[in-house]
């Protein structure tokens, strides 16, 4: 095979200009307005960088005592740690962790490392954390902007406003074949449509929903789709022109009636997980995407992969002419796309299939494999051999054997 003249380097695929930002116009975030989304990101990345730098400057010292740790934690300005009681509790936990180390000598671990273990920092440098983060919406470490988010979007509890919800008592069954689910599926993943039912039952539009074990972020997806009429109606509910959501209930006379129980509107979600991979997937599930920019970036990456690795999939079409051709997979893919029926596919695989005998001789052809057929298989032969272990019964083992297959012709 002929090899491309371009030298292969792993990093050339990624060393290109960044795709276009999601929003090229003015954006508002936490009450502040920025010329565009990139400026918003630069501003909050600067704040995040300052916070990480302050942690390193004030906490990257050997652990000495509880009082020293408490004083250093309390002096942090760019990294909120909560109330004085919460800071004191954190200092106690760090002190306990320091005393539990295998090496009894003081100073074997610094306060920063102990602090990161307690609050759930990922293993990685500050630069890696900053490169992954998109603050204030997502940070690859404990998010220091959560308090600002709650303050801006949350609604303090008002006892003068009545709130009454009966416990959600209904069977919830949702399939696992939704495209959103299948984008990153795993066994314990909860479908977002199942979560939507609970959010609609207990909350109002604009409420803040917290998921402390978010996984890949289906609670965030569900919270956003509570503002999508089509998504809500797909659950079996009805939505009127005013955004009131109705569900079927049975009245005292046994009749099925539609009763209002919620309102159409997105809810805001705070998603948390100890796994950096999980929160990164959750962030991408719940962040608006510029579809055209994504398509351009995907095509650019595919083109670079083709330029760098395409030579491995090329063939020499004719040995006499030594002419390099594109891979046969592309050629066959185009031919198969043009086929309209099964008969056309069979004809493509073997143009002479209609003239062949129904009884194969020698190696079986592709046309025989694609024709309707009947197969009968003999049972595999089992033998008993003496066990090679301390047991009172012979072990049952299977010898390698041929399957007794017989061809009975099409039909």
Beta bridge partners of 210: 270
Beta bridge partners of 377: 405
Q: How confident is residue 24, by pLDDT bands cut at 50, 70 and 90?
A: low
Q: Dihedrals φ, ψ of 248, to 5°?
A: -80, 135
Contacts 24+ apart (CB under 8 A), 323-329: 324/1, 324/2
**Do 196 and 222 form a contact (C-beta atoms < 8 A)?**
yes
Question: Mean pLDDT across the stretch 376-394?
Answer: 43
pLDDT of residue 273: 93
Output Rg (C-alpha) for the chain, integer angstroms. 32
3-class DSSP state of 68: helix
Please tell me whether the overall predicted TM-score, pTM, comes out greater than 0.85 for this model. no
Question: Mean pLDDT across the stretch 380-388?
Answer: 45
**Do 60 and 52 form a contact (C-beta atoms < 8 A)?**
no
Give the chain's count of helices (H) and strands (E): 15, 13
Report pLDDT digits (tens) over 214-225: 999 999 999 999
User: What count of residues does the chain have?
Assistant: 411
Report pLDDT digits (tens) over 162-209: 888 889 988 898 988 889 998 888 888 999 999 999 999 999 999 999
Q: Dihedrals φ, ψ of 394, to 5°?
A: -70, 140
Distance, in Å, from the CA atom of 140 to the CA atom of 126, rounded to the nearest integer, reads 10
Q: Is 131 a residue whose pLDDT tops 70? A: yes
Count CB neighbours of 291 within 10 A.
Answer: 8
Nearest to 73 by CA among 286, 343, 65, 387: 65
- H or E element at residue 187: none
> Which residues 6+ apart lie within 8 Å of 219 measured at CB?
192, 195, 199, 209, 211, 269, 271
Distance, in Å, from the CA atom of 181 to the CA atom of 195, rounded to the nearest integer, reads 12
Report pLDDT digits (tens) over 57-84: 999 999 999 999 999 999 998 888 889 9
In this structure, are strands 244-250 and 256-263 parallel, antiparallel, or unpaired? Answer: antiparallel
Q: Dihedrals φ, ψ of 99, to 5°?
A: -75, -20
DSSP per-residue letters across 23-47 = --S-EEETTEEESSHHHHHHHHHHH
**Do 197 and 172 form a contact (C-beta atoms < 8 A)?**
yes
Residue with tokens 């970036």: 297
| DSSP 8-state secondary structure symbol assigned to residue 4 | P
């Amino acid at each position: 095979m002929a090899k491309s003249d371009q030298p292969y380097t792993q990093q050339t695929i990624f060393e290109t200009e960044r795709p276009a930002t999601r929003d090229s116009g003015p954006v508002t975030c936490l009450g502040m307005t920025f010329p565009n989304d990139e400026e918003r990101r630069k501003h909050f990345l600067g704040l995040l960088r300052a916070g990480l730098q302050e942690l390193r400057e004030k906490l990257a010292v050997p652990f000495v005592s509880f009082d020293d740790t408490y004083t250093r934690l309390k002096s942090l300005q760019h990294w909120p740690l909560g109330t004085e009681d919460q800071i004191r509790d954190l200092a106690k936990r760090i002190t306990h962790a320091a005393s539990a180390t295998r090496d009894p000598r003081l100073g074997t671990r610094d306060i920063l490392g102990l602090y990161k273990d307690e609050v759930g920092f990922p293993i990685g440098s500050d630069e890696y954390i900053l490169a992954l983060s998109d603050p204030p919406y997502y940070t690859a470490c404990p998010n220091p902007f959560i308090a600002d988010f709650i303050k801006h979007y949350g609604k303090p509890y008002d006892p003068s406003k009545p709130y009454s919800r009966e416990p959600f008592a209904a069977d919830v069954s949702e399939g696992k074949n939704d495209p959103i689910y299948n984008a990153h599926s795993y066994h314990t993943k909860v479908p977002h449509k199942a979560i939507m039912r609970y959010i609609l039952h207990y909350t109002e539009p604009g409420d803040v929903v917290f998921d402390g074990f978010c996984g890949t972020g289906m609670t965030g997806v569900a919270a956003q789709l509570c503002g999508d009429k089509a998504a809500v109606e797909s659950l079996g509910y009805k939505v009127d022109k005013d955004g009131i959501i109705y569900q079927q209930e049975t009245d005292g006379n046994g009749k099925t009636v539609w009763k209002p129980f919620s309102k159409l509107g997105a809810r805001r979600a705070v998603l948390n997980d100890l796994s950096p991979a999980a929160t990164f997937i959750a962030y991408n599930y719940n962040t608006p995407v510029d579809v055209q920019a994504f398509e351009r970036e995907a095509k650019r990456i595919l083109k670079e992969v083709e330029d760098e690795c395409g030579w491995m999939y090329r063939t020499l079409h004719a040995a006499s002419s030594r002419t390099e051709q594109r891979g046969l997979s592309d050629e066959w893919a185009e031919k198969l796309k043009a086929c309209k029926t099964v008969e056309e596919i069979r004809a493509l695989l073997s143009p002479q299939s209609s003239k062949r005998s129904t009884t194969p001789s020698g190696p079986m052809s592709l046309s025989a494999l694609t024709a309707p057929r009947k197969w009968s298989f003999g049972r595999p032969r089992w033998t008993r051999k003496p066990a090679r272990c301390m047991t009172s019964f012979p072990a049952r083992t299977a010898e390698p054997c041929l399957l007794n297959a017989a061809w009975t012709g099409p039909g």
